[in-house]
Amino acid sequence: MKLPIFIADAFTARAFRGNPAAVCLIENKLDEDLHQQIAREMNLSETAFIRKLHPSDNFTEKNVNSTLTFVTLSGELKARRAEDDIVLDFPLYPAHPQDFHEVEDLIKTAIGDTLVQDIRYSPDTRKLLVRLSDTYDRSFLENLKVNTGNLLQVENTGKVKGLILTLKGQPGGQTQAFDFYSRYFAPWVGVAEDPVTGSAHTVLSSYWSQELGKKEMRAFQCSCRGGELKVSLRPGGRVDLRGGAAVVVEGTLTA
């Protein structure tokens, strides 16, 4: 069996940055074991298998700017082209104030005595948002050593499945201005640090929109690969996450 396969770097316009994902085009359903074997072979945090639900579907240049709906294990995902970018339509998840003492051990294990300005928790996504002090800058967040190895040993009772570290943005000056920065860690689901995380920005967008009084924002995830997102809050509790994509591998998988 030969299957078309691509590796695309998302939320970037440059190869070898952003979030790498494998995309495998299939005509018919595959066994779940084969899905897992292909994903392990790709050795990436995301491997997507795309199949037409209706044989008449025709994704050509004629409708490349229309909205495509993907039925996923996490629900429907809508995507559309906007100039050279891809726009993903996500729900917006609120984050509520979190008592520091309830998560003190987790935070101390992860970042030691780093100064914390605010802590929020999103019950919908089970993500803990930790805002670092405004006295820090982007380079501090980028260079911060986060101890993910010991987080699984901290008593958690399954409440937290993802840790977001975030920082208020700074004026542009000679560099591009961003409204906020972030990093994301999820060792509870096997991801020490994710390069760029769409789901984390469904929480970050809600939080920073309230903090900054803005519905249009620019965000940068400060992983070693780095990724840029444009955020647009919409009525009805939705958010558009917009970013570039660079295809770096195009080939055929033999299974």
Active site residues: 46
Q: Which of 103, 116, 117, 120 is nearest to 205 (CA)?
A: 120
**20: Cβ–Cβ under 8 A, 6 or more apart, which residues?**
7, 8, 9, 10, 44, 45, 46, 195, 225, 248
Contact 27, 13 (CB under 8 A): no
* Cα 114 to Cα 116: distance, rounded to the nearest angstrom: 6
Which amino acid does the sequence have at 188?
W
* Cα 40 to Cα 111: distance, rounded to the nearest angstrom: 31
From residue 95, alpha-carbon distances to 51, 204, 210, 234, 247 in Å are 34, 8, 11, 17, 34
* Cα 125 to Cα 203: distance, rounded to the nearest angstrom: 8
Q: Are strands 75-82 and 191-194 parallel, antiparallel or unpaired?
A: unpaired
Strand partners, 168: 180
Output the CA angle 37-43-45, nearest 5 degrees: 105
